[in-house]
């Protein structure tokens, strides 16, 4: 089990005379991610969802600091150990497509992922490209020659080649159409079936309600909701989450309670 215990993230703020003060961005966030579970972390832009993922890998920039503990199987992990677990036990799929090295082709990126994980040869690579709807000619391209959606699928390919027990995925369905987003999440569901725990940051509450086992929501720096998909569709959660959910077209079609009017 991967646990976030009383996580607070603070930002350094400097006064004109050089005195440093720490201002909170996230406060006292606690939850756990179980093996074989897909958890969606939702919230508006600027709530700190991406920072929470980065804190689990000791990737926060120098002007931010984390308080609280990241625990794996009940053991608190110091920053040095978190860094050693990157790519092996904990895998991060970043939000920014600039995470791809601009000097390397897609083929070089995927070859490196296979080499680090001992995941097989070109047959495995071809299967991954096919699963993510990427043509073979994409292997020759550089990141600057990819669309945003293609770059995200390449990052997802690298992640699914990893043997990591937990995947921290940041907005992996952004810039994808509905079909491509569904296929991306189907791949995450396959990893979940293998026992991989997945923490997925998303703005898309409708997709979260369709795919996630549990839904967490951040609002004004605190964790306001930690509920199952069924609890959400049956009207549970905080006032902010319910208002967001009931404003979606999906609420009035696929997930509306029996007897409620449909648009």
- 231: domain CATH number? 3.40.50.300
What pLDDT was estimated at residue 117?
63
| Beta-carbon contacts of residue 44 (< 8 Å; ≥ 6 apart) | 203, 219
CA torsion sign for 135, 168, 64, 10 is positive
Mean pLDDT score, 53-61:
92
The CA distance from 191 to 49, in Å, is 22
In the chain, the percentage of residues whose pLDDT exceeds 90 is 37
For the record, the structure tokens of 167 come out as 């995947």
Q: Are strands 90-93 and 75-76 parallel, antiparallel or unpaired?
A: unpaired
Check: CB of residue 202 under 8 Å from CB of residue 41: yes
What pLDDT was estimated at residue 213?
94
Asked whether residue 177 is assigned to any structural domain, the reply reads yes
Asked whether residue 259 is assigned to any structural domain, the reply reads no
Higher pLDDT, 228 or 150: 228
Asked whether residue 21 is assigned to any structural domain, the reply reads no
Asked whether residue 106 is assigned to any structural domain, the reply reads yes
7: burial class by Cβ within 10 Å (0-12, 13-18, 19+)? Answer: buried
Instruction: Tell me which DSSP letter residue 162 carries.
Output: S
What pLDDT was estimated at residue 6?
95
Q: Is the model's pLDDT at 8 over the cut of 90?
A: yes
Which residues partner with 91 through β-bridges? 167
- Confidence band for 235, pLDDT divided at 50, 70 and 90: confident
- Confidence band for 65, pLDDT divided at 50, 70 and 90: very high
Closest to 153 in 3D by CA, of 176, 137, 136: 176
The helix (H) or strand (E) run that includes residue 30 is: strand 20-33
Q: Is the model's pLDDT at 262 over the cut of 50?
A: no
Asked whether residue 262 is assigned to any structural domain, the reply reads no
Q: Is the model's pLDDT at 257 over the cut of 50?
A: no
- Confidence band for 112, pLDDT divided at 50, 70 and 90: confident
What pLDDT was estimated at residue 116?
67
State how many domains the chain has: 1
The CA distance from 238 to 113, in Å, is 41
Asked whether residue 19 is assigned to any structural domain, the reply reads no
Neighbours of 224 (CB within 10 A): 15
**Residues 205-214 pLDDT 10s:** 989 999 999 9
Asked whether residue 263 is assigned to any structural domain, the reply reads no
In the chain, the percentage of residues whose pLDDT exceeds 70 is 92
Q: Is the model's pLDDT at 255 over the cut of 60?
A: no
Q: Is the model's pLDDT at 261 over the cut of 60?
A: no
Q: Is the model's pLDDT at 256 over the cut of 50?
A: no
Domain that holds residue 40: 2-14+26-252
Place of tokens 């959400």: 232
Q: Is the model's pLDDT at 32 over the cut of 80?
A: yes
Mean pLDDT score, 91-103:
84
Asked whether residue 236 is assigned to any structural domain, the reply reads yes
Check: CB of residue 26 under 8 Å from CB of residue 52: yes
What global pTM score does this model have? 0.85
């Amino acid at each position: 089990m991967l646990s976030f215990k009383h996580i607070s993230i603070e930002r350094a703020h400097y006064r004109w005379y050089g005195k440093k003060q720490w201002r909170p961005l996230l406060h006292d966030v606690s939850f756990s991610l179980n093996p074989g579970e897909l958890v969606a972390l939702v919230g508006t832009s600027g709530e700190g969802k991406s920072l929470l993922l980065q804190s689990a890998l000791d990737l926060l920039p120098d002007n931010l600091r984390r308080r609280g503990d990241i625990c794996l199987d009940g053991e608190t992990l110091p920053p040095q150990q978190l860094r050693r677990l990157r790519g092996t036990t904990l895998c991060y799929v970043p939000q920014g497509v600039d995470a791809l090295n601009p000097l390397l082709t897609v083929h070089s990126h995927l070859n490196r992922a296979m080499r680090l994980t001992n995941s097989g040869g070109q047959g495995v690579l071809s299967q991954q490209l096919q699963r993510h709807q990427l043509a073979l000619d994409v292997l020759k391209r550089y990141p600057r020659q990819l669309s945003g959606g293609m770059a995200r699928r390449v990052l997802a390919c690298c992640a699914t080649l990893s043997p990591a027990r937990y995947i921290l995925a940041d907005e992996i369905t952004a810039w994808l159409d509905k079909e491509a987003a569904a296929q991306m999440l189907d791949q995450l569901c396959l990893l979940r079936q293998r026992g991989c725990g997945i923490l997925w940051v998303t703005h898309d509450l409708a997709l979260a309600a369709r795919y996630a086992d549990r839904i967490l929501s951040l609002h004004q720096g605190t964790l306001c909701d930690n509920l199952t998909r069924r609890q959400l569709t049956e009207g549970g959660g905080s006032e902010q989450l319910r208002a967001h959910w009931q404003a979606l077209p999906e609420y009035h079609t696929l997930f509306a309670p029996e007897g409620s009017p449909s648009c």
